Amino acid sequence: MKLSDIAQKLGCEMRGMDVEITSVSGIDEADKGDITFVSNRKYISRIKTTKASAIILGKDIPPIDIPSLRTDDPYFAFARALEIFFEPLQPETGIHPTAVIGEGVILGNGVNIGSYAVIGRNCRIGDNTTIYPNTVLYPDVVVGRDCVFHSFVTVREGCRMGDRVILQNGVVIGGDGFGFATVDGVNHKIPQIGRVEIGDDVEIGAHTTVDRAAVDVTKIGKGTKIDNFVMIAHNVQIGENCIIVAHSGIAGSTKIGNNVTIGAQVGIVGHIKIGNNVTVSSQSGVSRDLRDGEVVGGNPITELKQSIKIRATMRKLPEMYKDIIKIKEKLEIKE
Amino acid sequence: MKLSDIAQKLGCEMRGMDVEITSVSGIDEADKGDITFVSNRKYISRIKTTKASAIILGKDIPPIDIPSLRTDDPYFAFARALEIFFEPLQPETGIHPTAVIGEGVILGNGVNIGSYAVIGRNCRIGDNTTIYPNTVLYPDVVVGRDCVFHSFVTVREGCRMGDRVILQNGVVIGGDGFGFATVDGVNHKIPQIGRVEIGDDVEIGAHTTVDRAAVDVTKIGKGTKIDNFVMIAHNVQIGENCIIVAHSGIAGSTKIGNNVTIGAQVGIVGHIKIGNNVTVSSQSGVSRDLRDGEVVGGNPITELKQSIKIRATMRKLPEMYKDIIKIKEKLEIKE
Amino acid sequence: MKLSDIAQKLGCEMRGMDVEITSVSGIDEADKGDITFVSNRKYISRIKTTKASAIILGKDIPPIDIPSLRTDDPYFAFARALEIFFEPLQPETGIHPTAVIGEGVILGNGVNIGSYAVIGRNCRIGDNTTIYPNTVLYPDVVVGRDCVFHSFVTVREGCRMGDRVILQNGVVIGGDGFGFATVDGVNHKIPQIGRVEIGDDVEIGAHTTVDRAAVDVTKIGKGTKIDNFVMIAHNVQIGENCIIVAHSGIAGSTKIGNNVTIGAQVGIVGHIKIGNNVTVSSQSGVSRDLRDGEVVGGNPITELKQSIKIRATMRKLPEMYKDIIKIKEKLEIKE
């Protein structure tokens, strides 16, 4: 495909020769015929060494020697270039004869269900949804259209999913929440009789668990994307278009607004409220409410810049300790 | 059901009108006809705004305007109220024709085994135990009575489970422990030939892994409850009635007493001993033995109150650093 | 078996009586007839109380009362003793009639495939590889010889595995990487069209996830051993003979050298480069490149000894804060 054709499809401005492009690759691995991209400024110096035939670049980057496509958002343009050159995995079509379809199940048009999948009684699955082999839907689950559930996904009884939801392998939606009443040293299970509701366009990474509510509902708003190994506890409510990175955990009944970004390995306590447009950096511990737009880090959390200063100063702690001893000696301060 | 009937079933004292109750709900979501509860003092102010028809409350809370049931343990009473109003999920009964039952398997009365479950040779399963679809027991597993194993549970060869054990989706019992001997830079696998033993009334959350012992046994005592994504390494021994919250990890051969509470995202090193009635707060790192009754937090751990003070003081570190520079200048202390 | 025979098989020096050995056990659990070992110096005092009939010990440990086998690497010798006394789990042999084998699949000699396993179209599986029940290979996967994939393993489309690779239960190889371009507050999925390549002799613990590359390849070098719940993000490259302990996460495009050891619950940011022979202690946060041979810990990371000093000094922070106030009063320093 000509670079000019790609430019047109992606709505980018072409600079340099109209070369022939045959594939897409990363900047280090690219070869002749490949188009690549730079969005992270860290990689700009590699433009000089890449073998790519063309690069998707920010409009603000100075002229370069090889042909380029210029755009305000090179990462997004790259994503769309991938869609031009690569066809997504095609599932086996239709309902595999070994799939167990319970009584009262209603399937839309064009639904694909793989081998050894189990669809519980009274589930409803929307048009063009694909369920890969060895996936289990418990009874009374509602799934929208154009969803993709990969192998070893569990959706537990009564949970509801929107349209275009993608669940990577091993996701568990609606496992029992962790609720026990301890009486005289013995832990009694609190029945977890609520459910989970997942909005449209949500994607959830491998093995992430979203626990069902004790009563009522655990909710994930539309457009939110969650990485692998994230733990969403019972009765948590997450807004729209959030990003939650791997190994983070959100404890019970906490409410999170829209467009919130949570880094990796973050812990958020239960029963708090986090506003819209909040950012929490990786490995932080959040134990209080956060207002709209707060950008925080550390444990205890502080405003992000302050948390970076605190971390930097921690390196000097042993030296500070010695200084204080020296000062106390000089001033003859005793314990 | 009349509120007075519920009071009698739960052994609570009724105050206010004997209203009709039709369901159970959370305090914010409750509607007319619902009974709800308050056990966390943080939610007491919401009593004024709830639409619930009755509330389960501590005896010590002052009189309120709506009918209430009073008890010393409102959370536990609420759990029992849920059991009155909601019937638990009913599994498909009997042995599904697609379940693969190995040679020499002994099944008790009333055992339910779902579709595509695989029960290895010589397993024994006690009365009334339910195994959901697509669950795998390797050979020689022993399971007690009244257990519930959800879909995608693995129990590996030779592991033994007590009665009333609940395993949420994706739990792995008895995977190989992580043991390698590194000789000349090459890692040689140590065969993991021990097993796992799980006591009565244990519940384990989605995807948690309990590794088999290298030799001998990895043990979890009766009544212990473990959340999602917890890692119990080989040869760990955990006592009775413990609570271990999500994303925590306990390294090899560590011994933990009874009634121990471990918060979320805690790391505990191997080869240490933790006493009874210990509490470790979330995101701590434990690298030494703990005596009975210790309440600790932080990394490094200290007594919990001290760890809270340390965290509070950390916020002041950059300021402390500047102060020390100022003081050294004033006192003409040089490096 | 005579102790002298074991000595010969393991290449150890025998000291003391040539006793009869019938089994292998841990030092605390050992009984008459057992051989045990001590490699961790913490356990040397237990030699006095063990009931074992013989002990595998370092050459440098002083003479003891019971028979011993002396070697430079007692842990490795113990591993080989286990192989003498215990036979590994024997899988069901052959291809189970319920296994779904896609079109164009090529199977080597002696391949075992368990019940309800699903092998996608055009997969190739090498000689003597065992695939346990309910495991799924997506299309176009290449697996070497003598591999063992336990139940509920997923290998996604186009991923490639070397020889003697062991995947514990629930491992996910090749799930979609976590890549989104956020435009006007909406997160657009970046197609993840790369693959994963795993070298020979790699072992991966239960539920660990290795995401497929956005483009190109996510790579794990030969001999590397990874524990449970580890998250390897898209386009990460890990060298040979590394050890990565549970709950650690490595963010996208980071490159790690050979013989690197990463403790538990470590977070490593994306787009950095870690040299050979690096050690990162547990619960650290790595946010910069590391040179060959660095031994680091803490968050922020520093040289390990310094990080231990920093942690020790943290305990004194509240006291240091009070001292500074006292000093400022004495010196009449005001804010």
Q: Is residue C126's pLDDT more than 70?
A: yes
Q: What is d(CA C158, CA C155) in angstroms, rounded to the nearest whole number?
A: 8
Q: What is d(CA C198, CA C175) in angstroms, rounded to the nearest whole number?
A: 14
Interchain CB distance below 8 Å, B191 and C88: yes
Give the residues across from B37 on adjacent strands: B56
Interface-testing mutation among C151, C172, C284, C317, with chain A (most A C-beta atoms within 10 A)? C172
Interchain CB distance below 8 Å, C150 and B175: yes
The single-letter code of the amino acid at B122 is N
* Fold classification of B100-308 (topology level): UDP N-Acetylglucosamine Acyltransferase; domain 1 (2.160.10)
Which of chain C's residues have a Cβ under 8 Å away from the Cβ of A83? 191
C238/A299: higher pLDDT: C238
The pLDDT, as a whole number, for residue A335 is 65
Q: Is residue C133's pLDDT more than 80?
A: yes
Sign of CA dihedral C84, C85, C88, C93: positive
The single-letter code of the amino acid at C321 is Y
Interchain CB distance below 8 Å, A178 and B318: no
- Retrieve residue C8's tokens: 């010969």
Of C96, C207, C234, C271, which residue is the catalytic one? C234
Q: Which of C235, C258, C252, A334 minimizes the C-alpha distance to C244?
A: C258
A170 touches chain B (CB under 8 A): yes
Task: Flag the least confident range among A24-28, B165-169, C55-59.
Answer: A24-28
The subunits that touch chain A, with at least 3 C-beta pairs less than 8 Å apart, are B, C
Q: Which of A163, A241, A81, A295 minimizes the C-alpha distance to C184?
A: A241
Give the residues across from B188 on adjacent strands: B181
Helix (H) or strand (E) holding B10: helix B3-10
B322 touches chain C (CB under 8 A): no
Q: What is d(CA A36, CA A33) in angstroms, rounded to the nearest whole number?
A: 10
In which band, very low, low, confident or very high, does the pLDDT at A303 lie, cut at 50, 70 and 90? very high
CB C159 within 8 A of CB C177: no
Backbone angles phi, psi at B183, to 5 degrees: -120, 120
A24 touches chain C (CB under 8 A): yes
The pLDDT, as a whole number, for residue A257 is 98
Q: What is the mean pLDDT of residues A116-131?
A: 98
Q: Which of B196, B169, B162 minimizes the C-alpha distance to B114?
A: B169
Least CB-CB distance to C185: which of A207, A241, A246? A241
Q: What is the mean pLDDT of residues A83-95?
A: 91
Q: How far is CA A333 from the centre of its chain?
A: 54
Beta carbons within 10 angstroms of residue B128's beta carbon: 17
Interchain CB distance below 8 Å, B302 and C282: no
Shortest Cα–Cα distance, A87 to chain B (Å): 31
The pLDDT, as a whole number, for residue B335 is 65
Q: What is d(CA C33, CA C52) in angstroms, rounded to the nearest whole number?
A: 7
Q: How far is CA C198 from the centre of its chain?
A: 14
| CATH class as words, domain B3-85 | alpha beta
A133 touches chain C (CB under 8 A): yes
Mean of pLDDT over chain A: 96
Q: Which chain C residue lies closest to A164 (C-alpha atoms)?
A: C189
Q: With 0-12 CB in 10 A as exposed, 13-18 as middle and 19+ as buried, what is C276?
A: middle
Give the residues across from B311 on adjacent strands: none
Q: With 0-12 CB in 10 A as exposed, 13-18 as middle and 19+ as buried, what is A46?
A: middle
In which band, very low, low, confident or very high, does the pLDDT at C87 lie, cut at 50, 70 and 90? confident
Q: What is d(CA B267, CA A45) in angstroms, rounded to the nearest whole number?
A: 40
Which of chain C's residues have a Cβ under 8 Å away from the Cβ of A283? 267, 285, 299
B264 touches chain A (CB under 8 A): yes
| Pairing relationship of beta strands C295-297 and C302-303 according to DSSP bridges | antiparallel
- HEC profile of C98-133: CCEECCCCEECCCCEECCCCEECCCCEECCCCEECC
Question: Which parts of chain B have pLDDT scores under 70?
Answer: 335
**Cα dihedral B171→B177→B182→B183 (10° resolution):** -130
Peptide bond before B300: cis, by omega within 30 degrees of 0? yes
pTM: 0.96
The percent of chain C in helix, strand and coil, each rounded to the nearest 5, is 15, 30, 55
Q: What is d(CA C78, CA B306) in angstroms, rounded to the nearest whole number?
A: 43
Q: How far apart are the first and last CA of chain B?
A: 79
Interchain CB distance below 8 Å, B133 and A118: yes
Q: What is d(CA C174, CA C195) in angstroms, rounded to the nearest whole number?
A: 6
The pLDDT, as a whole number, for residue A31 is 93
The region that residue C174 occupies, defined by phi over 0 for left and psi between -120 and 50 for alpha, beta otherwise, is left
Q: Which chain A residue lies closest to C103 (C-alpha atoms)?
A: A92
SS3 C296: strand
| Pairing relationship of beta strands C68-71 and C13-15 according to DSSP bridges | antiparallel
Q: What is d(CA C140, CA C160) in angstroms, rounded to the nearest whole number?
A: 9
Which of chain A's residues have a Cβ under 8 Å away from the Cβ of B259? 185
Q: What is the mean pLDDT of residues C304-314?
A: 95
C198-221 burial, b at 16+ Cβ within 10 Å, e below that, comes to bbbbbbbbbbbbbbbbbbbbbbbb
If you count residue pairs, one on B and one on C, with CB atoms under 8 Å apart, how many are there? 187
Of B96, B188, B234, B247, which residue is the catalytic one? B234
Shortest Cα–Cα distance, A183 to chain C (Å): 32
Percent of chain C with pLDDT over 70: 100
Which of chain B's residues have a Cβ under 8 Å away from the Cβ of A96? none
Interchain CB distance below 8 Å, C168 and B176: yes
Sheet order of strands, B34-37 included: B13-15, B68-71, B54-58, B34-37, B23-24
A233/A299: higher pLDDT: A233
CB B24 within 8 A of CB B79: no
Distances (CA, A) of B105 to B125, B142, B174, C89: 8, 10, 19, 17
Give the residues across from C290 on adjacent strands: C274
Least CB-CB distance to C267: which of A115, A116, A283? A283
| Pairing relationship of beta strands A23-24 and A34-37 according to DSSP bridges | parallel
C106 touches chain A (CB under 8 A): no
Least CB-CB distance to A283: which of C186, C213, C285? C285
| Residue with token string 């799980």 | B198
Domain definitions of chain C by residue range: 3-85, 100-308
Q: Is C234 a catalytic residue?
A: yes
Least CB-CB distance to B314: which of C78, C223, C317? C317
Distances (CA, A) of A320 to A92, B276, B319, C297: 65, 38, 12, 20
Q: Which of A253, A259, A316, A307 minimizes the C-alpha distance to A282?
A: A307
Interface-testing mutation among B131, B151, B227, B326, with chain A (most A C-beta atoms within 10 A)? B151
Interchain CB distance below 8 Å, B333 and A313: no
C200 touches chain A (CB under 8 A): no
Q: How far is CA A23 from the centre of its chain?
A: 27
Least CB-CB distance to A247: which of C247, C316, C326? C247
Which of chain A's residues have a Cβ under 8 Å away from the Cβ of B134? 116, 118, 134, 136, 152
| Residue with token string 């043991």 | B179
In which band, very low, low, confident or very high, does the pLDDT at C238 lie, cut at 50, 70 and 90? very high
Q: What is d(CA A180, CA B245) in angstroms, rounded to the nearest whole number?
A: 12
C247 touches chain B (CB under 8 A): yes
Assembly ipTM: 0.95
| Pairing relationship of beta strands B13-15 and B23-24 according to DSSP bridges | unpaired
Q: Which chain C residue lies closest to A277 (C-alpha atoms)?
A: C185
Interchain CB distance below 8 Å, A100 and B79: no
Q: What is the pLDDT of residues A221-270, one digit of tens each?
A: 999 999 999 999 999 999 999 999 999 999 999 999 999 999 999 999 99
Which of chain B's residues have a Cβ under 8 Å away from the Cβ of C24? 193, 215
Chain B residues 267-286 with CB within 8 Å of chain C: 267, 269, 271, 285
Cβ-Cβ contacts under 8 Å for C62 (sequence gap 6 or more): none
- HEC profile of B273-331: EECCCCEECCCCEECCCECCCCEEECCCCEEHHHHHHHHHHHCCHHHHHHHHHHHHHHH
- Retrieve residue C35's tokens: 């051989």
Chain B residues 57-76 with CB within 8 Å of chain C: none
The pLDDT, as a whole number, for residue B40 is 83
